[in-house]
Chain A
Amino acid sequence: MINTVLNVLSDIVLLIGLFFVFLGMLGLLRLPDAYNRLHATSKIATLGAFGVMLSIVLRTGFTPLGVKAIAVGLFLLLTAPIAAHMITRAAHRHGVGLCKESVVDEYGKACKLSKK
């Protein structure tokens, strides 16, 4: 009984994770500049991948496959913010401009002030 419930639950979580990864890639296509694209990939795609790994854990339990899936999911969740932060800072210092809908840019002002 509980096995059937866990199997159905893991299938649902797998479908949700796949849907979120697909949404992240759609955001990569549609959003206007590099910073906004980073919003899509670093949040939605990471949670989607974590969902797929969670579904594997729900299906198999604490076998070697499940434990490795936990390791992959936690590693993705831990390193995605660091990679996003480094790419954003590097892009801004390299001179990638914000898109034309942008409102404020405090960091550019601060960089100009410190250069003078």
Chain B
Amino acid sequence: MKKYISLAAVLGIVWCFIHGTFLGIVWCFIHGTFLGIVWCFIHGTFSFNSFIFGLLIGLVCIRPFRFLYKPESNFNLFSPPSRIISIIRYFVVLIKEIIKANIVVAKIVLKPKIDINPGIIAVPIRCKTDLGITAIANTITLTPGTITVDISDNKSLLYVHCIDASDPDAVAASIRNGLEKYVLEAFE
């Protein structure tokens, strides 16, 4: 089994060097490592051999779709530790908000008479990068009574369908002050 592992490592490195630039090689290995971990989850066993097998299959799989994996120019591999702490805090807040959202919608469903006043409102956001906008949109969908519908053309407004839109300013203020603060700290 040792022989196969070393063979796989050599093959993977040779495969990656076809990419050319050093940044392309690093990005290829990062995505390959991610796909290897996913392979471990799907296979059901966490062992070194299955990880190497998944890494090899991942490198083969992302080769035809190379144009989707554009390497960012300002990418730094070692992010500062304060950012990791804020990412952990963001996930804690996210779990709390998901549970709160379920209780809110469950109460609405269980009421004998449904009296809601839904509507689509516009929420201004401060995030600029694509990763930040994706994170805030998915967070809004998982939080109480709101679903993201679309983003405006100049990427400064999110259209949000809200299950209780009788006071649009309060909803927008709660999104801006509550969730977007953590997203800005974690992803920008």
Question: Which residues of B approach A to under 8 Å, CB–CB?
Answer: 38, 40-46, 98-99, 101-102, 105-106, 108-110, 114-122, 137-138, 141-142, 145, 147-150, 152-153, 159, 161, 163, 165-166, 168
Known: A38-B147, A104-B120, A106-B122. 12 other contacts (CB 8 A): A32-B114, A35-B147, A43-B102, A44-B105, A47-B99, A64-B43, A68-B41, A84-B141, A104-B121, A107-B150, A107-B159, A110-B122
Cβ 8 A contact of A103, one of B106, B109, B110, B166: B166
**A103 CB contacts on chain B under 8 angstroms:** 117-119, 165-166
The number of inter-chain residue pairs (CB within 8 angstroms) is 126
**Considering the chains assembled together, what is the distance between the CA atoms of A70 and B150 in angstroms?**
30
Instruction: Give the B-binding residues of A (Cβ under 8 A).
Output: 20, 23-24, 26-27, 30-33, 35-36, 38-40, 42-44, 47, 62-65, 67-68, 70-71, 80-82, 84-85, 88-89, 92, 98-99, 101-108, 110, 114
In the complex, A23 Cα to B138 Cα: how many Å?
22
Q: How far is the CA of A24 from the CA of B110 in the complex (A)?
A: 10
Q: Which of A38, A65, A102, A106 contacts B44 (CB 8 A)?
A: A65
Interface centre among B119, B153, B165 (most CB of A within 10 A): B119
Known: A23-B106, A104-B165. A88 touches B121 (CB 8 A): no
CA distance A94 to B147 in the complex (A): 18
Do A26 and B122 have beta carbons less than 8 Å apart? no
Q: A12 → chain B, closest Cβ, in Å?
A: 15
Question: Of B44, B110, B118, which contacts A64 at CB under 8 A?
Answer: B44
B114 lies within 8 A of A68 (CB): no
Out of B40, B106, B166, name the residue touching A20 (CB < 8 Å): B106
* With contact pairs A64-B44, A106-B159 given, residues A81 and B141 touching in the complex (Cβ less than 8 Å): yes
Candidate in A35, A62, A80, A108 with the most chain B CB atoms within 10 angstroms: A35
Our pick among B41, B109, B116, B120 for the contact of A71 (Cβ within 8 Å) is B41
Min distance, Cβ A97 to any Cβ of chain B, angstroms: 12
State whether A47 touches B98 (Cβ < 8 A).
yes
